[in-house]
Chains A and B, each alone.
Chain A
Amino acid sequence: MSHYLVKRVLMMLLTLWIIVTLTFSLMHAIPGDPFASESDQLPEQILANLRAKYNLDEPLPVQYVLYLKNLVMLDLGPSIKSDTRGVNDMIADGFSASATLGAQAIVIAIFFGITFGIIAALNRNKWLDYAAMAIAVLGIAIPSFIMAPLLINFFAIKFPIFPVATWGTWMHTVLPSLALAFGPLAIITRYMRASMIEVMNQNYIRTAEAKGVPTLALVVKHGIRNAILPVVTFLGPLIASLITGTFVVEKIFAVPGIGKYFVDGIFNRDYPVILGTTIFYSSILIVTIFLIDLAYTLIDPRIKLTNKEG
């Protein structure tokens, strides 16, 4: 077990390091310097100071090492466009909003996705199945940046139930979370349905039925328990798409989250911000995937043993 753990942690660090290096190289592969746009506005001396402040006058490998050093101490550096806040500040700032949004979206997607999937599987080819599948298809076909304006149009303008945008009360979080959750919800629904159908066709369901287990217990204890396993393995990639979804949703709904800083950073070509937030997101993703995989080995009794022996 520990052998496996160590291997995984090393892989994680390796991937993270590759991301850092890749992003760093990319950011510095662009000819010219980030202050080019301001070179006509600021006197040369100040520009030189700026460059020195950001270590831009050092040779590239040195910049790299300096960056890594700071990284290990969890310092993501200053922003180029903003004087007052460094990247760490931005992340801290936007964290609560993004985290709330993300968490709510995940909960909605998982809860409803699994529920719809089960309902669809147990009512195969009847209207409940078609309804659930229709929702799933919509969720897969309609990207979040189109779903978001649609939701705004219907639930904030035509029927003014929710506020249009910005952040503040719980009501503000509903539409953005829905827009973000829709895609993952759709995928989970489909997956869960397929898994449930396959499980309910297994022989051990027959065995349980033959010993008199009532339908509810059959579905829950024997069906869902086994059907949910493949869906768990799928959560990792889902979280990745959720993260990229936040960029869009935060922008459209004007949510003061990290995504906003990230998107602004892209527009402004603010490289430290881009670099920093990318690393932040990637770390979260990689750690989350690791935790999910770990959880899976604990849930599935068949995996547990292999680890013990291996």
Chain B
Amino acid sequence: MEKHLLTIDNLKVNFKTYGGEVQAVRGVSFHVDKGETLAIVGESGCGKSVTAQAIMGLIPNPPGRIVDGKIVFEGSDITHLTKKEWMQIRGSKIGMVFQDPMTALNPTMKVGTQIVEGFIRNHQVTREEAQKRAIEMLRLVGIPDPEKRVDQYPHQFSGGMRQRVVIAIALACQPQLVIADEPTTALDVTIQAQILDLLRRLQEEQELSVVIITHDLGVVSEIAHRMVVMYAGIVVETGTVEDVFAAPRHPYTWGLMRSLPRIDGEEKQRLVPIDGTPPDLFNPPKGCPFAARCDYAMEICNQQMPEISTFEPGHQAACWLHDPRAPRIEELVAAGRQGE
């Protein structure tokens, strides 16, 4: 029955704040299989990072809590585990790579120690064996001269190197799943390419499953097999990267694709941003959250959450435009233009 490595089923996460309760994640569902890379794409505040934290049980409580839904990993329900149970999973079954390499490492601890800290905890090893493992990991992530580097401190590494160390830490206990939260956002483009190469290589060699969170479609196309597009706490489109890039089915995805410069495009392109701002998640709209910014919005979009339509196997989108009762797109576009 459980053929997926990780299943998220209708996850809902709320945060209590001074201004009220924020519904950060409002019914998100997707799955990840063994050996594949899934990208979660969306803009800031869409709930992708919170989803990632939820998978690891890292939602700070207070103020946050999972109010509904299930997370199933390797067949077991990990939605509400105790701290002790989490320690069995974190590091050894699921690893996490964080966004900012400059602050993700303990400045007063040697890099080698940080890498094998979890490893030592889970296995009985001698100091030498642990050291050997740390050196191995450094070598694995492509850090030159690992024997010397293993005893150095984070400030002696550059940004790209530090991110490699962070990846080494995530992989040290050979987890089945690695969640990478914007791993390349803080890095230069050239370093970014190196890190993505590394992730891809590691995934193939170690048969890892990777969930990569990003707002950058370029990263998605580089490294992901499947993708999930999130907006304002819900999933608006899911599918393989090829399917979605070839034929996106949600207006938000259209907007994302349109705002990218294309290398094969015409000479004079205009970058078309998506007008407007995301909705207020204290009081989310009862209909589709994208309706306010959507060029093709209809009455029903404000009234009800769209139902999910399936296109190719695995390719789904949540949009009223695909309901048989909706007028065809060209007519909507014409209607929209009338208002201009």
Is chain B in direct contact with chain A in the complex (CB below 8 A)? yes
A interface residues (Cβ-Cβ under 8 A, vs B) = 202-204, 206-215, 221-222, 225-226, 229, 300-302, 305
B56 contacts A by Cβ under 8 Å: yes
Query: From B101, which residue of chain A is reached at the shortest CB distance?
Result: A203
In the complex, the answer to whether A203 meets B103 with C-beta atoms within 8 Å is yes
Chain A hits for B88, CB < 8 A: 212
Query: From A301, which residue of chain B is reached at the shortest CB distance?
Result: B153
Q: How far is the CA of A215 from the CA of B84 in the complex (A)?
A: 10
A231 to chain B, nearest CB (A): 14
In the complex, the answer to whether B118 meets A213 with C-beta atoms within 8 Å is yes
In the complex, the answer to whether A204 meets B118 with C-beta atoms within 8 Å is no
Number of residues from B at the complex interface, CB < 8 A = 34
Chain A hits for B106, CB < 8 A: 204, 207-208, 222, 225-226
In the complex, the answer to whether A204 meets B105 with C-beta atoms within 8 Å is yes
In the complex, the answer to whether A211 meets B117 with C-beta atoms within 8 Å is yes
B98 contacts A by Cβ under 8 Å: yes
In the complex, the answer to whether B105 meets A215 with C-beta atoms within 8 Å is no
In the complex, the answer to whether B105 meets A212 with C-beta atoms within 8 Å is no
A227 to chain B, nearest CB (A): 10
Q: How far is the CA of A191 from the CA of B88 in the complex (A)?
A: 35
CB within 8 Å for A210 and B95 given contacts A301-B153, A302-B155: yes
Q: How far is the CA of A213 from the CA of B173 in the complex (A)?
A: 12
Scoring B residues 96 to 134 as 1 if CB is less than 8 Å from chain A, else 0, what string do you get?
101010011111110000100110011000000000000
Chain A hits for B87, CB < 8 A: 212, 214
User: Out of B91, B108, B172, which one reaches A226, CB within 8 Å?
Assistant: B108
B244 contacts A by Cβ under 8 Å: no
In the complex, the answer to whether B98 meets A206 with C-beta atoms within 8 Å is yes
Given A203-B100, A204-B103, A302-B153, list of 11 further CB < 8 A pairs? A203-B104, A208-B114, A208-B117, A210-B95, A210-B98, A212-B90, A212-B92, A212-B122, A213-B118, A213-B121, A222-B106
B334 to chain A, nearest CB (A): 50
B89 contacts A by Cβ under 8 Å: yes
| A-B residue pairs in contact (CB < 8 Å), sample of 15 | A203-B98, A204-B104, A210-B56, A211-B118, A211-B169, A212-B86, A212-B87, A212-B92, A225-B108, A226-B108, A300-B108, A301-B107, A301-B108, A301-B155, A305-B155
User: Out of B83, B91, B107, which one reaches A204, CB within 8 Å?
Assistant: B107
A306 to chain B, nearest CB (A): 10
User: Out of B83, B118, B166, which one reaches A215, CB within 8 Å?
Assistant: B83
Q: How far is the CA of A302 from the CA of B108 in the complex (A)?
A: 8
User: Out of A211, A222, A225, which one reaches B90, CB within 8 Å?
Assistant: A211
In the complex, the answer to whether B117 meets A209 with C-beta atoms within 8 Å is no
B205 to chain A, nearest CB (A): 21
B58 contacts A by Cβ under 8 Å: yes
B156 contacts A by Cβ under 8 Å: yes
Q: How far is the CA of A209 from the CA of B166 in the complex (A)?
A: 13
B27 to chain A, nearest CB (A): 25
B156 to chain A, nearest CB (A): 7
B236 contacts A by Cβ under 8 Å: no
